[in-house]
A and B are shown apart, each in its own frame.
Chain A
């Protein structure tokens, strides 16, 4: 495969639209406010993009199965509280991290069982999860804000979220790593192929001898693990975890990133590069609202409008291709 061809596959038609939109927004913002291109601003955006990108990718896997996970934000609160309390009690930091990610995986397993074995609808399962996890987080934290203080005994942990390597935030490096692995998993592995098949037509996949339940289960576990990783990064980024509000509505950003990145909510379609671009776009949008002095009360409206524009453009392009 030549370089040109691989670049072409890398940025398939699907991602071109959102890539164009991203470039457009960046150009527009930097023209209006040169601060956009200042290293600190770019670093800050990249740091958050790293965190958002990681859990958006996890969500994307669930979306590709035709499912959805509404509980991500509540899981952030639960796991954020969990790691803070574990460290507070002097749990060895490596252990605390492992337990937190393990909890994320366990939540994925639970969702997977309820969806594949009990045959409940993913929307319902994770909607209940959203309420339950938030409630548990608030209860175990006594509704008190948890924090990491001076990080005594685990001084190496906060910098994973807050420092840079070679000028690039560590969270962004982590995103690159995660995205590269998942790119291979989704676009090159047998599991990825099975995932696409199951997401588009579970019946047809079963008739081809694919264990559809196991494929869907794995997608939920991937989502759980990545939510766990992002939960730790987010907790150290904010440095305090208020169980009632921490992570509120983050799942919607993840779903938006997945959809902007070319995942169909009907399942069976998705692109890793697209999702990363989608997550980046959402961060740039938030930055744009601040830098262009748009009233912050309008932030959600702007975000919503741009997502709608992106999805509409995609739909129009798709119809034109078909015709």
Chain B
């Protein structure tokens, strides 16, 4: 791929980016969120078309005009989100879209043969008629790869394939990648887990803000080199940290259990003016915990006390009435009604204060929401703009603006900067610090280790729904957190 450019309304996603992969080579594609990795791979996978630039496969120019066309060209894309269908069996998934048939009828024996061969290649010993819904997540991920292999992929794109895998499963997957490599498959590997890059990649191509930011040879694949190239500077410790003395305990959670982890009892406290990070592996139950505190899916057992008063948080209305707010992980589906305007999104939980006799006081609504948007410097031509058209950072500010005006006592952030670019991240961090300075108790759930270490006064680690440790900032390191987060088999 060379000279690839792609523009979206308002942003240049890719500007003259090039990437080559040789057969039997694993190239890691690195970059921060929004650097253009996904767009690049969508172009290769035929999902989107570049504005300019050429894709060459085996010396001949190719135009993957659609995912089907890309598939014909031998390009297989394993997506970050699982795209297998859990209402089909293994054979049905592996053959999906390319079902062998006789006279329009499914050729089941052929499907099973193809599926068996493909599952063997990924090291899975499972029957083709096993329903996908019976398989653990890791195996589903392997089925995705098997599906790619079943179409004789010459080029395999893996987009964060290990994000939902345990360390053991990850090791298996990395072995599989080495095996495929020896079979001559060209592999593009996208990940945020730099250890995996060092372990498996032959080379890394780094993107930054839609440009080629550099290329690292095998010997240069050290953690520091990779991070420095991705960020464009050497990350130094966060100097802006000012130690604070937290106040009294605001939130006291005792033995809280959720549907997902009925056995894992979470107990912890949050103090006024304290920023507490919450780390844990995917599936540790962090989001479930946040949703229990906010009343979306109420806790199964346990007590939640706010300023010493036990509360039964059975719905979000109860949480909101007690000034406990959540900035949810999924901005587009939970945080906002994206088809509504900035104004309508900000006022949504606060309409009770902007009405008389059940009717919305539109003048007041417009004025107040404009003030709130301005206070957080939401960048938009007008508050009448649909939230859908905002950047991730600005969308997050809109969600925040909604709650900040309702004088929070406790603020819970679930992955507050996911999908947000570097500049906007800093703004979100500033806002979080400002909240703590106002004596709000803040809980920040994050899978981004750097983020947790950067903003937390204290780090809680969750494992299987249980708080396995509380580490003060001075002792918090990636290692100390991980040790508490992983299972001790």
Q: A207-B326, A208-B349, A209-B349 are in contact. Are A191 and B337 (CB under 8 A)?
A: no
How near does chain B come to A301, taking the closest CB pair, in angstroms? 33
Which residues 320-347 of B sit at the A interface, judged by CB distance below 8 A? 320, 326, 328, 333-340, 344, 347
Q: A193-B344, A208-B402 are in contact. Are A201 and B337 (CB under 8 A)?
A: yes
Stretch of A134-142, A182-190, A255-263, A305-313 contacting B (4+ beta carbons < 8 Å): A182-190
B355 at interface by CB-CB < 8 Å: yes
Q: Mark A171-190, 1 if CB is under 8 A from B, else 0.
A: 00000000000001000111
Inter-subunit contact B335/A191 (CB<8 Å): no
Inter-subunit contact A204/B336 (CB<8 Å): yes
> Which single member of A194, A200, A201, A209 contacts B316 (CB below 8 Å)?
A209
A210 at interface by CB-CB < 8 Å: yes
- In whole angstroms, how far apart are the Cα atoms of A210 and B317 in the complex? 7
Question: How many A-B contacts at CB < 8 Å in the complex?
Answer: 70
A252 at interface by CB-CB < 8 Å: no
B358 at interface by CB-CB < 8 Å: yes
Chain A residues near B402: list those with CB within 8 A.
Answer: 208
Chain B residues near A184: list those with CB within 8 A.
Answer: 359
Inter-subunit contact B334/A210 (CB<8 Å): no
A8 at interface by CB-CB < 8 Å: no
Q: A197-B348, A204-B337 are in contact. Are A190 and B316 (CB under 8 A)?
A: no
Inter-subunit contact B333/A203 (CB<8 Å): yes
Chain B residues near A200: list those with CB within 8 A.
Answer: 337, 339-340
CB closest chain-A residue, reference B294? A207
B65 at interface by CB-CB < 8 Å: no
Inter-subunit contact B359/A207 (CB<8 Å): no
Q: How large is the interface on B (under 10, 10 to 19, 20 to 34, 35 or more residues)?
A: 20 to 34
- In whole angstroms, how far apart are the Cα atoms of A205 and B328 in the complex? 12
Inter-subunit contact A190/B340 (CB<8 Å): no
Q: Mark B334-378, 1 if CB is under 8 A from A, else 0.
A: 111111100010011101100100111010000000000000000
- In whole angstroms, how far apart are the Cα atoms of A21 and B51 in the complex? 39
Q: A190-B355, A190-B359, A190-B360 are in contact. Are A204 and B334 (CB under 8 A)?
A: yes
Q: Mark A197-230, 1 if CB is under 8 A from B, else 0.
A: 1001101111111110000000000000000000
CB closest chain-B residue, reference A205? B337
How near does chain A come to B368, taking the closest CB pair, in angstroms? 14
- In whole angstroms, how far apart are the Cα atoms of A197 and B387 in the complex? 13
- In whole angstroms, how far apart are the Cα atoms of A268 and B334 in the complex? 15
Chain A residues near B326: list those with CB within 8 A.
Answer: 207
Chain A residues near B334: list those with CB within 8 A.
Answer: 203-204, 207
Q: A204-B335, A210-B348 are in contact. Are A196 and B340 (CB under 8 A)?
A: yes
How near does chain B come to A98, taking the closest CB pair, in angstroms? 24
Inter-subunit contact A188/B359 (CB<8 Å): yes
Chain B residues near A196: list those with CB within 8 A.
Answer: 337, 340, 344
- In whole angstroms, how far apart are the Cα atoms of A194 and B358 in the complex? 12
- In whole angstroms, how far apart are the Cα atoms of A203 and B335 in the complex? 9
- In whole angstroms, how far apart are the Cα atoms of A189 and B294 in the complex? 26
> Which single member of A188, A190, A207, A268 contacts B296 (CB below 8 Å)?
A207
Inter-subunit contact B358/A204 (CB<8 Å): no
Q: A184-B359, A189-B359, A203-B334 are in contact. Are A211 and B315 (CB under 8 A)?
A: yes
Inter-subunit contact B340/A188 (CB<8 Å): no
Q: Mark A252-276, 1 if CB is under 8 A from B, else 0.
A: 0000000000000000100000000
Chain A residues near B320: list those with CB within 8 A.
Answer: 209
Chain A residues near B358: list those with CB within 8 A.
Answer: 189-191
Q: A196-B340, A203-B333, A203-B334 are in contact. Are A208 and B359 (CB under 8 A)?
A: no
Chain B residues near A210: list those with CB within 8 A.
Answer: 348-349
Chain B residues near A193: list those with CB within 8 A.
Answer: 344, 347-348, 351, 360
Inter-subunit contact B352/A197 (CB<8 Å): no
Chain B residues near A208: list those with CB within 8 A.
Answer: 316, 337, 348-349, 402
- Most B C-beta atoms less than 10 A away, residue of A189, A190, A206, A208: A208
Chain B residues near A194: list those with CB within 8 A.
Answer: 351
Interface contacts beyond A188-B360, A204-B336, A209-B316: sample of 15 additional A-B pairs, CB < 8 Å, sorted by A: A188-B359, A190-B355, A191-B358, A193-B344, A197-B340, A200-B340, A201-B338, A204-B337, A204-B338, A205-B348, A207-B326, A208-B349, A209-B317, A209-B319, A209-B349
Q: Which 6 A-B pairs have the closest CB atoms?
A: A209-B320, A208-B348, A208-B349, A190-B351, A209-B316, A209-B349
A-B CB contact pairs (8 Å), 21 listed:
A188-B360, A190-B352, A190-B355, A190-B360, A196-B340, A197-B337, A200-B340, A201-B333, A204-B336, A205-B337, A205-B348, A207-B296, A207-B316, A207-B334, A208-B316, A209-B317, A209-B319, A209-B320, A210-B348, A210-B349, A211-B315
